[in-house]
Structure 1
Amino acid sequence: MKKYLSLVLMLVTVVTLAACGNKEDNIPSFKDADLRLANSSIAEDLDFHTTSLASDFTILNNINEGLVRLKENDEVVEGVAKSWSVSEDQLVYTFTLRQDATWSNGDTVTADDFVYSWHRAVNPPEGITVKYASMYDMIKNGSAIRTGEETDVTKLGIEAVDEYTVKVTLEQPTPYFLPLMAFPAFYPAHQETIEEYGKDYGKKMDNLIYNGPFKVTYWNTDYGVYLEKNETYWDKDAVKIESVSYRAVEDPTTRLSLYDADELDRVGVTGEQYEDRMDVADVYIDPVQWYLIFNTEDENFSNKNLRLAFKYGIDKAELVQALKPYVPADEFVPRGYSVMEVEGEYVDFRDFVTANADATEVNYDESTNGIFDAKVAQDYLDLALNELGEDSITVKFKAFDSDGWKPLFENIRNQLSRLEGLTVELDKKPAAGVYDSYDGRTYEFGFYGWGPDYPDPMSFLELYHSEDSHNVLKKEETDVLNAEFDALIEAARGDNPETSLLDDPVARWEALVQAEALLLEEAYVVPLAQRAGGTLQQGRVSGVIKHNFGPDYSWKWVEVTD
């Protein structure tokens, strides 16, 4: 599943795939683990190259390790690499690996493991689809190898200088390169194990190998995942707990009841649960955005005026009441996520947009944002109906068949159905069916979310580039948008040295502001809300680290007291 859908269901996916790992009669005692967690979505694929599910990334982040790791406040700290240096031109990173990093079978993690893994990502064997291959475009020759322009994979900008030294050469200076090295797509790979299991690697517990703080000792998508401390991990002394249980519990009410019965250590609360517990909940706001997505290959939604009717026809303040304390979102890049130093002061991207409106020729007023206006929405709908030659239309909203999301989806349906001439029907499917309809373009309009992979506005915008593997705008109707949008993204990314803006951070952000405005103007995707919630945590637990980008949680530094 593409990333734009993987993070839709960070906390809410209903897993319907076949169970992996152990049989039912071997279910461990989840409530007896040191750290006891639950989610409606349990890991489906633990091959770090082929998955893009947030639930998978959470597990991967705790059983594997890359060159670096993210700690509290997303600080980059040592991982397999114990130190690194950067060339003056910011193009070459040299990582020195620790010699005591080992795989769970006792083999040493070496520079060749990173080279093999990265080669597999850009030039995968038959039967393997790498979901984040486009991330390697920042690596020297990454794009050329990935697209087949260059057939010699050894020309990728990664070199094993010796057994414990990795040299990485970039196409252009990339300000977010180092934190991105903590992302699962860049983990090392144990070649012997990968080649033994082939495309089945990571699909069940017995087909795995680890180099991180924990190891999987039970995995069944119907019941959950059980992790135990990895005694071969180089920093095992820093791991203070012996086990983590992550059980499958779809119903939010059941999860809260388990927490109240002291069978769970952490639980998220939204909506009515949040209102009931807001005085004791730890409230957070995530840089995770939620959107409406339109299939413009559908006859109705190829009409821009219809999309604009939807954009202005939803009162987001009313909408988020169904998922308190979510907050309305009118843009793609959320506030509080990305900052840049300008003349000695740190400026949030959203404040930069406002302050540089003249320079960027972007005015974020009612013509571009999604401020609710029932009259404007009705006017756009009337125009659309006239252009479609219809007095009224009925459209289907592809929605997840999940009790947790039911109030939100019904609210969207009810709000839009207030428009005269429009009827919205819920087309509820299990998560896997929704994914298939999005990938196969057999839906009319739907709902999805996106969380960032690295701390830069680009992480929210480049997925709409015409060649990005997560792009939802790959259709003839958006060719004009893509031509202008692609050019802005490529300049901000530094794809071409002649047009690169990487040496001018202000101009780079100005390009990203314009790219965001293009998306808002065309309404192929409509921002709805930014994820927020409350977390209840038992007093005996400390040290759970929640990340703003990449995998959601780190459990390495958790401590539990009696």
Structure 2
Amino acid sequence: MSQDPQLAAQQRQGLEERLRRATMNRRRLVQGAAGIGAGAMALGAGGRTIGRVSAQGTPGAAPDAEQVFYNFLMQQDPSSYDFNADLYCNAEFECWAGLLTFDPDGVVVADWAESWSANEDGSVWTFNIRPDNTGWTNGDPVTAEDFVWSFGRLLSPQPEGASAQNVYSFILYDIKNAESFSTNTPKVAGEGTPDSGQVATREELGLRAVDQWTLEVTLEGPRANFPQKVAYLACVPAHRPSVEQHGVEWALGNVPLVSNGPFKLDKWEKGVEALHSKNEGYWDAENISITSLIDPIIPGNNAALAFTSGEGNQQLDWSPVGASDLPRFQEDPELAGLLRQYVYPGIWMLLPSNGIAPFDDLKVRQALSHAVDRERLVTVTNGLVLPASSMVPVGVYGHIEDPEISAIQQYDPELAMSLLVGTPYEGGQNWPEVTVLMRGNEGQYNSNIMIEDIADQLQTTLGLAIQINELVEQPFRDALYANDSPLVWIRWWYDYPDPDNGYFDMFHGGKPAGSKRQAWENEEFDRIAFEAKSVLDPDERLALYVECERIIQEDVGYMPIVYRVDQNAFKPWVQNVPTNSLGFSVPDGNIYVRAATEYQIAGREG
């Protein structure tokens, strides 16, 4: 039974209004933090504050004696547990902790750094690490030197104990001399660089352990959002003694893993499950209820079934519910009561930007950009997306609501066909074979439903037939970074809630070969995206990103399609589910990764 269209429209209108208010509140928050020095310390000194929802399903139930949580995370075997060398290793991120982390609202809060501050212009940041800790799971202290070494390893072209450079090393290019060192290219001439023209060494990075508990980071210039970057998962440390002793084996599950997060790895049965227990040396361990965190390895397409019918260690205490499963949940009174909505900070997009025929022709790319009806995707996903018209999702600072921007790629099938006039494909004829590359095993995010519908739209509107090349994680990434697919269907889950993560990290053309998701480049776009990094006033900064958006949309470097909306199901015995200020229940994701430290189990069946 489908939802009443009028009711669905009313619910969507209310959701969009809540998100617009959130966007404005986020801009005010950024405005308040733009004072850097004192403001940054104020943000840092407050420690972690986590919002919570009340108990679900079992009000007043006493906590269970056994605090076990069956987590949906691993859809396939991790390649390792070494996030410092491979952001996309797909391991349990609750095993790791950085200087800072995010709360459910995406606000930076303290982790191993109990406070942090900046100099007057935001070009030097100081992080004060919790002293006298025993945070590593073998009892070693987490120190400033751990981050000096680990940040250097993240940036290194040849990281110790890893087979290749981390493709996400560019997240720390803001550090003094980092880009030169990481890309093995000469330093750029400028003030304070008398040795420009030489390649920076690891010793020349702007990283200094002032003492055991104080880390000082010197940047290439003012950067108001640097705390957001070090709060991201890519910037967790590695345990240097383990790397030096075991090399590439140190995080493959064959030797005891030494980590520094809220949980530690106890057993990893390849292809089956990974078992974790609480790290009593973690700074906040006394406030964590869950003592056993179990990650069954379950493909995303099977998650809803494992939630309702799984047994033993192959059960789940929470699961995303995709469009194909959502009606079943909504029509069952018991299951419907377990659903919780979350507007995830992520966007789906098409990339016709690798310079491969037929999309090497701007008019053809423009025709493509007017041929997709985003509203139709809202319908086919049962409301699990919102139409997108710019890179930054609604509710996040940097979201653009500008009628001129929205009009650049608006759905207009007649205009789409007219743009083909004068091209070899006039009248929707003579198309070459076109394949769209996509990541497989993401049915829970409605990826297949959407791309299949887009393919149908392109066939109907342009006469363009596309073949879908669906690859699992690592083969997909290999193909993606090769930049040789004519069309790519890709999602971008924000790593930190700032437009720099979209415009620069995703689209800046200066990244080294093998780390770019598309071949598209534009010098003016690159210049503005880089300039925006140093602008502290959020309104002035946003104006620069509006110009970036105009440039990339007019050249169809990408096509914003939809923003992600989730329906997640939590078992009734899962208590203290983190919630953000909009009232959305927030599981572990890409920005917020501390949900397991908040859960409590009360009244589990059986």
Normalised-by-shorter TM-score class = 0.7 to 0.9
1:511/1:406 Cα in 2 relative to 1: closer, same or farther (>3 Å)?
closer
Q: TM-score, normalised by structure 1?
A: 0.81
Matched, 1:492 2:537: no
Counting aligned pairs with the same residue, the percent is: 25
Instruction: Indicate the residue corresponding to 1:526 in structure 2.
Output: 559
| Equivalent in 35, 51, 59 of residue 86 of structure 2 | 51
In the alignment of these two chains, the number of paired residues is 496
Using the alignment, how far apart are the partners of 2:272 and 2:210 within structure 1? 44
| Equivalent in 361, 375, 395 of residue 414 of structure 2 | 375
Instruction: Indicate the residue corresponding to 1:10 in structure 2.
Output: none
Matched, 1:323 2:381: yes
**C-alpha displacement at 1:430, in angstroms?**
3.5
Matched, 1:233 2:282: yes
Matched, 1:89 2:121: yes
- The residue correspondences of 1:57-72 to structure 2 (distance < 5 A) are 59-60=92-93, 62-72=94-104
Using the alignment, how far apart are the partners of 1:382 and 1:137 within structure 2? 44
3-state DSSP class of the match of 2:351? strand
Preserved CA contact (<8 Å) 2:371 2:412: yes
Preserved CA contact (<8 Å) 1:197 1:207: no
1:169/1:300 Cα in 2 relative to 1: closer, same or farther (>3 Å)?
same
Preserved CA contact (<8 Å) 2:262 2:282: yes
3-state DSSP class of the match of 1:72? coil
| Equivalent in 220, 236, 244 of residue 171 of structure 1 | 220
**C-alpha displacement at 1:124, in angstroms?**
4.2
Instruction: Indicate the residue corresponding to 2:325 in structure 1.
Output: 273
Q: TM-score, normalised by structure 2?
A: 0.75
Instruction: Indicate the residue corresponding to 1:429 in structure 2.
Output: 471
**C-alpha displacement at 1:33, in angstroms?**
7.2
1:508/1:69 Cα in 2 relative to 1: closer, same or farther (>3 Å)?
closer
**C-alpha displacement at 1:532, in angstroms?**
0.9
3-state DSSP class of the match of 1:524? coil
String of CA shifts for 1:309-344, please: whole Å, max 9, x gaps: 2221111111233333211212111111116xxxxx
Q: Kindly provide the amino acid, as one letter, of the partner of residue 529 in structure 1.
A: V
Tell me which protein shows more strand as a share of its residues. 1
Instruction: Indicate the residue corresponding to 1:498 in structure 2.
Output: none
**C-alpha displacement at 1:164, in angstroms?**
1.6
**C-alpha displacement at 1:511, in angstroms?**
1.1
CA RMSD of aligned residues (A): 2.8
| Equivalent in 125, 128, 143 of residue 164 of structure 2 | 128
Instruction: Indicate the residue corresponding to 1:345 in structure 2.
Output: none
Unaligned runs of at least 5 residues, structure 2: 1-65, 187-198, 331-335, 579-585
Instruction: Indicate the residue corresponding to 1:264 in structure 2.
Output: 316
Matched, 1:145 2:181: yes
Using the alignment, how far apart are the partners of 2:417 and 2:427 within structure 1? 15
| Equivalent in 502, 508, 511 of residue 541 of structure 2 | 508
Instruction: Indicate the residue corresponding to 2:25 in structure 1.
Output: none
**C-alpha displacement at 1:93, in angstroms?**
2.4
Q: Kindly provide the amino acid, as one letter, of the partner of residue 332 in structure 1.
A: M
**C-alpha displacement at 1:210, in angstroms?**
0.8
Preserved CA contact (<8 Å) 1:287 1:548: no
1:47/1:138 Cα in 2 relative to 1: closer, same or farther (>3 Å)?
same
Instruction: Indicate the residue corresponding to 1:300 in structure 2.
Output: 358
Preserved CA contact (<8 Å) 2:417 2:427: no
Using the alignment, how far apart are the partners of 1:400 and 1:132 within structure 2? 18
- The residue correspondences of 1:1-20 to structure 2 (distance < 5 A) are none
1:388/1:473 Cα in 2 relative to 1: closer, same or farther (>3 Å)?
farther
Unaligned runs of at least 5 residues, structure 1: 1-31, 340-348, 355-362, 495-501
Q: Kindly provide the amino acid, as one letter, of the partner of residue 474 in structure 1.
A: A
**C-alpha displacement at 1:447, in angstroms?**
0.8
Using the alignment, how far apart are the partners of 2:471 and 2:544 within structure 1? 39
Preserved CA contact (<8 Å) 1:49 1:132: no
3-state DSSP class of the match of 1:196? helix
1:544/1:200 Cα in 2 relative to 1: closer, same or farther (>3 Å)?
farther
String of CA shifts for 1:408-428, please: whole Å, max 9, x gaps: 232122111113542222333
Q: Kindly provide the amino acid, as one letter, of the partner of residue 133 in structure 1.
A: S
Using the alignment, how far apart are the partners of 2:372 and 2:200 within structure 1? 49
Q: Kindly provide the amino acid, as one letter, of the partner of residue 71 in structure 2.
A: L
3-state DSSP class of the match of 1:310? helix
- The residue correspondences of 1:540-551 to structure 2 (distance < 5 A) are 540-545=573-578, 546=586, 550=591
Instruction: Indicate the residue corresponding to 1:34 in structure 2.
Output: 68
Using the alignment, how far apart are the partners of 2:460 and 2:378 within structure 1? 18
| Equivalent in 425, 434, 438 of residue 395 of structure 1 | 434
